[in-house]
């Protein structure tokens, strides 16, 4: 097993972990952490799988660079929303969606 494949497998686990975290956890900050794990997992798969014979492939590397920046943008937005919600309600979780 090559190093690339090993990290790709780790990426799969991280991805699943991240999604489970976003879905199951209530605390908003932790959900944001979880979504970051999910993204990192996907990036590891992208670069790990593309590494053939140990020689790096620059295209997925550039893609992951783009992805990291997008992820931090989303994290900042999520944090802004979480802080606003906390300022308005004092809680750090999504309230139950009271329909009507």
Applying the rule CB under 8 A, the residues between 1 and 30 that interact with another protein are 1, 3-10, 12-30
Q: How many chain residues bind another protein (CB under 8 A)? A: 95
With a CB cutoff of 8 Å and minimum separation 6, the contacts of 39 are: 18, 67, 68, 71
SS (H, E, C) 75-87: HHHHHHHHHHHHH
Least distance from C-beta 90 to another protein, angstroms? 6
**3-class state of residue 12 by DSSP:** helix
Structure tokens at 25: 């956890």
Least distance from C-beta 54 to another protein, angstroms? 8
Applying the rule CB under 8 A, the residues between 31 and 50 that interact with another protein are 31-50
Applying the rule CB under 8 A, the residues between 50 and 79 that interact with another protein are 50-52, 54-79
């Amino acid at each position: 097993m090559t190093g690339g494949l090993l990290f790709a497998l780790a990426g799969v686990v991280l991805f699943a972990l991240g999604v489970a975290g976003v879905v199951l956890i209530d605390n908003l900050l932790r959900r944001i952490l979880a979504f970051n794990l999910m993204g990192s997992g996907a990036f590891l798969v992208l670069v790990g799988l593309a590494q053939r014979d140990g020689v790096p492939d620059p295209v997925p590397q550039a893609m992951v660079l783009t992805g990291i920046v997008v992820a931090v943008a989303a994290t900042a937005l999520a944090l802004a929303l979480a802080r606003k919600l906390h300022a308005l309600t004092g809680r750090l979780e999504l309230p139950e969606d009271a329909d009507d």
